[in-house]
Amino acid sequence: MITIAIANQKGGVGKTTTAINIATAMAATGWRTLLIDLDPQGNASTGMGVDQGDRERSSYDLLVEQVPLSECVQGTDIPGLDIVPATVDLSGAEVELVSVEDRTARLSGALSGHMGHEICFIDCPPSLGLLTLNALSASDTLMVPLQCEFFALEGLSQLLQTVERVQQRFNPDLSIVGVVLTMFDRRNRLTDQVSDDVRECLGNLVFESVIPRNVRLSEAPSYGMPALVYDHGCSGSRAYISLARELISRLPEKRKAA
| CATH code (residue 74) | 3.40.50.300
Per-residue confidence (pLDDT) for residue 83, from 0 to 100: 96
CB 244 within 8 A of CB 119: no
Name the domain count of the chain. 1
pLDDT at 255 over 70: no
The answer for residues whose C-beta is within 8 angstroms of residue 208's C-beta and 6 or more apart is 246
Residue 170 lies in a domain: yes
Q: Looking at the domain assignment, is residue 152 inside a domain?
A: yes
Tell whether 57 is covered by a domain: yes
Can you give the residue range of the structural domain that contains 12? 2-250
Inform me whether the pLDDT recorded for 173 exceeds 70: yes
Query: Domain for residue 258, yes or no?
Result: no
Inform me whether the pLDDT recorded for 254 exceeds 70.
no
Residue 255 resides in a domain: no
**What percentage of residues in the chain have a pLDDT greater than 70?**
97
pLDDT digit string, tens, across residues 40-61: 999 999 999 998 888 889 999 9
Q: What is the average per-residue pLDDT within 169-174?
A: 92
Question: Higher pLDDT residue, 193 or 83?
Answer: 83
For residue 125, being part of any structural domain is answered with yes
DSSP assignment of 99-137, as one string? T-TTTTSHHHHHHTT--S-SEEEEE--SS-SHHHHHHHH
Does the residue 257 lie in any domain? no
User: For residue 256, is it within any domain?
Assistant: no
Position 258 scores a pLDDT of 41
Confidence of residue 253 (pLDDT cuts 50, 70, 90): low
What average pLDDT score do residues 99-109 get? Answer: 89
Query: Residue 255 belongs to what H/E stretch?
Result: helix 253-256
Q: Which residues on adjacent β-strands are paired with residue 5? A: 122, 142
